[in-house]
Structure 1
Amino acid sequence: MNYRVIKEDDLFLLSDEKGDIVGNHPYELGLYTKDTRFLSTMKLLVNGESPIALHSDGGENYRSSILLTNPHQENEAGLLLWRESIQFERTRFISEGVLYEKVKATSYFPKKAAFRIAMEMDADFLDMFIVRGFQNGKTGSRGETAMGDQEMTFTYNGSDQIERTTVVKWDQPEQELRSGYVGFDWELQHGESKEVTFKIEALHDQEKSKMQDENDALNSLKKSYEEWNGSLPRIETDVKQLEKLVQRGTDDLRVLLTDVGFGSFPVAGLPWFGVPFGRDSLIAALQLLPFNAAVAKGTLLTMAHYQGTKVDAWRDEQPGKIMHEIRYGELANTDQIPFAPYYGSVDSTPLFLMLLVEYVNWTGDVSLVKELRSTIDRAIDWIDEYGDRDGDLFVEYHQEASKGIANQGWKDSGDSVVHRNGDYAVSPIALSEVQGYVYQAKKGIAQIFTQLGETEKANHLDLTAEKLKKKFNEAFWMDDVQFYAIALDENKNQVGTITSNPGHLLQSGILSDDRAKKVAQVLVNEKMFSGFGIRTMAIGEAGYNPMSYHDGSVWPHDNSMILLGMAKSNLPEEMSQVVQGLLDASHHFEYNRLPELFCGYDQSLNTVVPYPVACSPQAWAAGTPLTFVQSLLGIFPAGLNKKIVLSPSLLPSMDELHITGLRLGDGILSVSLIRIEGKTEVNVKENTTGWEISQQLETPAL
């Protein structure tokens, strides 16, 4: 990873490995909030030169530490600094919308060393869509840079009538201050240190400053992480890589949490998707449910707030539809792009209902259903009226927005839905996995309505779901390959390319047992399974490309949705194969962090080939290891009935798995799985839920 990123709430810093914000970098570096770059330059200088990187640690999400040293420096008068004589340490973190950066210099020169350290800074206030080269448009104007006592302020008057301000303060007297530059002249004896702390804040309009003492801010941040980690279940196993992945995943999900007023939810990923995303946020919250159900509640409330209210082709909006994403920058605020919010996602609405059902299953909290009652009704109405465009029971998508997204499933690149002859499918398109989401959502909501005494509505949902199941299996099943089509095109012809999409059907209940088995077997054959995970498209298909974004790559989150289905469908051998492949893949990535995606090459290269611009950390990639635990435990609770079903299985490489402090309802469940003489023994260590447990006492070794 040739960048370093830290985030807290809605502010994130993207720098190079030295900690600088510079130009001509593969990633557009900067300090960002609300889709605006509030710092476009931040460069540390030693006697006017950039220092040399020694070590750059990107493993700790909320705080970054970077070690540097000076180059050899002379001028016509003689020696300025002997090479590697001064150590510079940059430590930084973000708290309550403020970036704190401490620069500490320590001398190892045998005599007194004199030098100047300086920080160059600038703020271009560019909209993120302009920064990334996606759009241009009418923008505002920069104001004068103001300088005061140990302070510098950059201002911008946006075309959206919002004044944006970047305030920079430091805690040591400077020797030179001019626009975009502050310099400090220091003298150090051997072993002596000196430091300066910068506080950088991004403000909108008359927003009040939240700068505070650096130590108080850091202690507050540490406490929030301690509370987060203390609330999570503890995982112990003899496969230590799984422990590392789960810890990394929960750490990454914590840093990706944001609250826009309705509770914490995960943004999609860094660096470019640190905003509410319907599909991504909902799936990440689903993955996190066994570990922290409160995030699912915050995600549902956030999505409900932005639910579509009208027909607006510019935004691909219809009443009841759950959004795709929302942006807060200048272009979105002035309607130059349709992202305030944008609704071009065919699966966000059924995924919203799916998450709500699973939230109830894990918590038993029906009060949230009552709170969101009108939201649920509108979402179901959208599925039946606007999602099903032609009344054939299938939910389809078709782009209306001129600057929107053409393919509106999770594989949203323009080449992702392709016929076996290489032709791209033409919309309206009905995706296979979306029909499964709809079926699962309707069946689950029907159960909740039955519990609430709304039998007429429950029966109607059940009836329409069963009709969908019958028609889906007739229209999407391909006898010649014993698999499901990825989609139906505008003419209701099958898009027959073998892809991972039908794997999502395994958790929905829309498949018969024998067809579920056949789907799983295709997914783990040599054409679909790379050895490191399930590919998005099978080798041999016309669109297959192991380097592509969606047509042959491996996406961890895609695998996680399939894994949950394999576990739910009682397919432990296939599930085990996929979990082990992803565990093997994770060894090849920095900080035990599964990325957004990686290339689909097989294991003959003896390495995983990274995708060049994958997001990392990314929410649903971070959530993937958490689904390993749920899948291995085989736990799918039914909160309405206060029942817990366990169907556990251990990996061939695993003899022990202990889960302590799993939260269900108002209680705790702790379970140990131990392989003894080839069989898995299940030991329920603690159960304060009051829920009934049915368990498979012994599972044959895989």
Structure 2
Amino acid sequence: MDYRVIKNNDVFLMTDHHGDIPGGDSQSGLYMRDTRFLSEMKLTLNDKRPVLLSSAADENYIARIRLTNEHMEEQGNVRLWRESVELIRERFISDDVLYETVALKNYSTTALAFDLKVSFEADFADMFLVRGFQPAEELGKITARSADKTHWHAAYQGADGVSKQTDIHWSVEADSVSERGEFGFAIRLAPAESKQITFTVFPSIDGKRGAAKTKEAALADLKQSYEEWTKDSMKVSSDNPVLNGLYERGVQDLRVLLTDFGYGLFPVAGLPWFAVPFGRDSLIAALQMLPLSPEIARGTLKMMAAYQGEEVNPWKDEQPGKIMHELRNGELAKSGQVPFAPYYGSIDSTPLFVLLAAEYAHWTGDTDTIADLLPALQKALTWIDQYGDRDSDGFVEYFQESSKGIANQGWKDSADSVIHADGRFAAAPIALVEVQGYVYQAKIRLAPIAERLGLAELAGRLRTEAQRLRDAFDSAFWMEDESFYAIALDGDNAQVRSVTSNPGHLLLSGIVPADRAAKVAERLVAPDMFSGYGIRTMSSEATGYNPMSYHDGSIWPHDNAMALLGMSRAGLGEEAAKVAGGLLKAAGRFEYNRLPELFCGYDESVGYPVSYPVACSPQAWAAGTSVTLVQTMLGVWPDALNRSIRLQPYLPDGVNLLRVADLPVAGGKLSVTLRRERESGEIRVDVAENTTGCRVEIAGAAAGATRN
């Protein structure tokens, strides 16, 4: 990626590789609550930009940029010999405060004198403005700027009535000061001498800002929070360095994307543009994180319930019981110029809400949380049956009502993502294939939980409705000539007959008969769908295929993860191993082994996975794919309600040993080792620890497998 980004809780910083926020048309900045609190932060040495040596954010919550000076002469005299000064910029965010230390060291043999200049600006721009939105109404104004030798301040009064401020303090008095945010420091360094300047940036809203701490105390608190996260999470090691790196990076990325909005930790969608609550993205990320930290699912469910739709509001695509798509907190959303406070234009968030609640209970056995959420779950079920099924045909479909909303309201939400085989865009209302699977899974998995809660009538109704949907589904969506499911039904209930990755999500739901599940999996790993690095979003033989397209030929790790979960649950280990192996190949070619939001759909003949130019990274459900890979290799499927855990393992090529410790299930921990036997190729399963109170059932393992 061509930027560096760090985040903690509700604040993130995006810079170039030099560590600068360049200003001008750059989208970089320091952001909080969809507002840019720093739009410029540049550093120069004798009015020259330093030379970049290295730029790293490998620890995810802290970034280090190493720089030096270029050769400088004036009228034939050397002012500063090249590479005389080392500059290290180290920054992190703690409790919504940015800390940056600039360390300078003289590596020459003589004393040095030079000018270090730092410039700041704050435009308080809404995220939508930064990304090119043109407002129809007048916005707020900057009301104050002030500066002295150790402090700079800017204030803004928004059209939404909200006041915002940026305050910057630094540890060494400046030698020159400007209210425009330009500050000069006359640096004198003896040979081998070092000096530091620490800048502390406080963004605030209506006077509320993070607590002031020393840099050392703030960093200690931040490190401790990461250590606790790692200590309490599932541990993974293997004989494959890429898998190890992918998992470690994924766990760190998921931690950095967690934010507490008052209901518990919650995964925002991704950086830099989607560091906000999402319905679909956050729910799927929380589902992926069940083997890592089930508490995240609980916080996510509570957050979604708190913002559940209450009224019929076409401007926001809202109806009672509907789960939000996206929540924005910037000036444009709060002043009503965009419908995102929150916006509800998502067809899958509501069934995914019910689905996550059910899977959480089956994983943890925590029916008390489900009982607390029951009113919200029942409202969501009512929305699915009443508002979700617009034409009463038994399928859930979407139709955009908001003038500034989203036209395609599934996870493939670009305008060209639902295409007929002849190239026509499908007309709404559109019933997406995977959404029917989500609805079926939500109802059939919630039914036994309802029984446990003494709601026999609800349980019976859910089973009846799920069976009715299953009975109608195949004849409506199955394409006999393709031995595959159509991506959708259009507004005329005609099949949208493109071959896409969407049916891969069905494998997890149970809505697909076993023989057809095998056919779906077989097609997903066929050459037209599988690039060698992952499953494409669209078949390379389809009319709309474009390997550079956002949704019509690209590869999305989370999309592959959903198919992997289904393959694992259905016992399709051969296909799962192929997909997992492809993702590991791709991860091995990306920085830090980090899978991005998506990458292009070119096959292996190119020699490497081709990056998509504006993919978010890190991104929650891409990071969650690392956890899914481990879950599906174990083939672990808990039934905490009935005190059992099923393991049905596979190992992809290149992985012969996998150790998993502290897998949280049913309030306890499970530790398992998988080892491929050299001669037979069979997988031996050793259960080293089981404090879950559940019996472990192992399928497809070597004869010598052990159980606890």
With the shorter chain as reference, the TM-score category is over 0.9
- Aligned position for 1:686: 689
Q: Secondary structure at the match of 2:671?
A: strand
- Aligned position for 1:49: 48
Aligned counterparts of 1:139 and 1:474: Cα–Cα separation in 2: 53
Aligned counterparts of 2:379 and 2:35: Cα–Cα separation in 1: 33
Aligned counterparts of 1:216 and 1:538: Cα–Cα separation in 2: 53
- Aligned position for 1:91: 90
Aligned counterparts of 1:419 and 1:529: Cα–Cα separation in 2: 21
- Aligned position for 2:145: 145
Q: Secondary structure at the match of 1:89?
A: strand
Query: Aligned-pair distance for 1:146?
Result: 1.2
1:254 maps onto 2:255 in alignment: yes
Q: 1:390 to 1:547 in 2, by over 3 A?
A: same
1:101 maps onto 2:84 in alignment: no
Aligned counterparts of 2:703 and 2:81: Cα–Cα separation in 1: 67
Query: Aligned-pair distance for 1:79?
Result: 2.9
- Aligned position for 1:647: 648
Do 2:50 and 2:69's aligned partners in 1 also have CA atoms closer than 8 Å?
A: yes
Aligned counterparts of 2:195 and 2:656: Cα–Cα separation in 1: 52
- Aligned position for 2:15: 15
Aligned counterparts of 2:385 and 2:99: Cα–Cα separation in 1: 50
- Deviation per CA, 1:421-464: give whole Å up to 9, x if none: 00000000000000000000001111111111211111011001
Do 1:4 and 1:14's aligned partners in 2 also have CA atoms closer than 8 Å?
A: yes
For residue 688 of structure 1, what is the amino acid of its counterpart?
T
Aligned counterparts of 2:275 and 2:347: Cα–Cα separation in 1: 21
Q: 1:87 to 1:697 in 2, by over 3 A?
A: same
Aligned counterparts of 1:480 and 1:18: Cα–Cα separation in 2: 55
Aligned counterparts of 2:431 and 2:440: Cα–Cα separation in 1: 14
Q: Secondary structure at the match of 2:395?
A: coil
For residue 693 of structure 1, what is the amino acid of its counterpart?
V
1:473 maps onto 2:474 in alignment: yes
Query: Aligned-pair distance for 1:658?
Result: 1.3
- Aligned position for 2:161: 161
Aligned counterparts of 1:58 and 1:664: Cα–Cα separation in 2: 32
- Aligned position for 1:286: 287
Do 1:236 and 1:659's aligned partners in 2 also have CA atoms closer than 8 Å?
A: yes
Do 1:648 and 1:699's aligned partners in 2 also have CA atoms closer than 8 Å?
A: no
Q: Secondary structure at the match of 1:374?
A: helix
Aligned counterparts of 2:687 and 2:139: Cα–Cα separation in 1: 61
Aligned counterparts of 1:80 and 1:157: Cα–Cα separation in 2: 45
1:184 maps onto 2:218 in alignment: no
- Aligned position for 1:587: 588
Aligned counterparts of 1:589 and 1:632: Cα–Cα separation in 2: 22
Query: Aligned-pair distance for 1:147?
Result: 1.7
Pairwise CA RMSD: 1.3
- Aligned position for 2:528: 527
Query: Aligned-pair distance for 1:654?
Result: 2.4
Query: Aligned-pair distance for 1:400?
Result: 0.4
Q: Point out the more displaced range, 144-153 or 399-408.
A: 144-153
Q: Secondary structure at the match of 1:369?
A: helix
Do 1:682 and 1:697's aligned partners in 2 also have CA atoms closer than 8 Å?
A: no
For residue 6 of structure 1, what is the amino acid of its counterpart?
I
Q: Point out the more displaced range, 562-571 or 655-664.
A: 655-664
Aligned counterparts of 1:532 and 1:209: Cα–Cα separation in 2: 43
Q: Secondary structure at the match of 1:636?
A: strand
- Aligned position for 2:699: 696
Query: Aligned-pair distance for 1:209?
Result: 4.6
Q: Secondary structure at the match of 1:644?
A: strand
Query: Aligned-pair distance for 1:208?
Result: 4.3
**Gapped regions of structure 1 (runs ≥ 5):** none
Aligned counterparts of 1:144 and 1:342: Cα–Cα separation in 2: 33
What TM-score do the two structures reach when normalised by structure 2?
A: 0.97
Aligned counterparts of 1:313 and 1:548: Cα–Cα separation in 2: 30
- Deviation per CA, 1:378-434: give whole Å up to 9, x if none: 000000000011111100000001000000000000000000000000000000000
Do 2:269 and 2:621's aligned partners in 1 also have CA atoms closer than 8 Å?
A: yes
For residue 487 of structure 1, what is the amino acid of its counterpart?
A
Do 2:657 and 2:675's aligned partners in 1 also have CA atoms closer than 8 Å?
A: yes
Q: 1:652 to 1:48 in 2, by over 3 A?
A: closer
Query: Aligned-pair distance for 1:203?
Result: 0.3
Do 2:518 and 2:572's aligned partners in 1 also have CA atoms closer than 8 Å?
A: yes
For residue 647 of structure 1, what is the amino acid of its counterpart?
Q
1:206 maps onto 2:207 in alignment: yes
Do 2:347 and 2:409's aligned partners in 1 also have CA atoms closer than 8 Å?
A: yes
- Aligned position for 2:175: 175
Aligned counterparts of 2:420 and 2:700: Cα–Cα separation in 1: 46
1:505 maps onto 2:506 in alignment: yes
Equivalences for 1:163-562 in 2 at 5 Å?
163-179=163-179, 180-562=181-563
Query: Aligned-pair distance for 1:665?
Result: 1.4
For residue 177 of structure 2, what is the amino acid of its counterpart?
L
Q: Point out the more displaced range, 178-187 or 190-199.
A: 178-187
Q: Point out the more displaced range, 422-431 or 672-681.
A: 672-681
Do 2:146 and 2:152's aligned partners in 1 also have CA atoms closer than 8 Å?
A: yes
Aligned counterparts of 1:508 and 1:272: Cα–Cα separation in 2: 31
For residue 101 of structure 1, what is the amino acid of its counterpart?
E
- Aligned position for 2:597: 596
Aligned counterparts of 1:418 and 1:320: Cα–Cα separation in 2: 30
Query: Aligned-pair distance for 1:652?
Result: 3.3
Query: Aligned-pair distance for 1:233?
Result: 1.5
For residue 80 of structure 1, what is the amino acid of its counterpart?
R
- Aligned position for 1:5: 5
Do 1:69 and 1:84's aligned partners in 2 also have CA atoms closer than 8 Å?
A: yes
Aligned counterparts of 1:609 and 1:77: Cα–Cα separation in 2: 47
Q: Point out the more displaced range, 637-646 or 541-550.
A: 637-646
Aligned counterparts of 1:77 and 1:695: Cα–Cα separation in 2: 78
- Deviation per CA, 1:658-689: give whole Å up to 9, x if none: 11111111211111112223211111111111
Do 1:150 and 1:172's aligned partners in 2 also have CA atoms closer than 8 Å?
A: yes
Aligned counterparts of 1:633 and 1:700: Cα–Cα separation in 2: 16
Q: Secondary structure at the match of 2:135?
A: coil
Q: Point out the more displaced range, 633-642 or 670-679.
A: 670-679
Do 2:149 and 2:177's aligned partners in 1 also have CA atoms closer than 8 Å?
A: no
Query: Aligned-pair distance for 1:562?
Result: 0.2
- Aligned position for 1:58: 57
What TM-score do the two structures reach when normalised by structure 1?
A: 0.98
Aligned counterparts of 1:115 and 1:432: Cα–Cα separation in 2: 65
- Aligned position for 2:636: 635
**Gapped regions of structure 2 (runs ≥ 5):** none
State the identity as a percent: 53
Query: Aligned-pair distance for 1:698?
Result: 2.4
Q: Point out the more displaced range, 327-336 or 27-36.
A: 27-36
Aligned counterparts of 2:359 and 2:556: Cα–Cα separation in 1: 23
Q: Point out the more displaced range, 232-241 or 329-338.
A: 232-241
For residue 104 of structure 1, what is the amino acid of its counterpart?
A
Q: Point out the more displaced range, 202-211 or 455-464.
A: 202-211
Q: Secondary structure at the match of 1:145?
A: strand
For residue 58 of structure 2, what is the amino acid of its counterpart?
G
For residue 261 of structure 2, what is the amino acid of its counterpart?
V
Do 1:38 and 1:123's aligned partners in 2 also have CA atoms closer than 8 Å?
A: yes
Aligned counterparts of 2:567 and 2:42: Cα–Cα separation in 1: 50
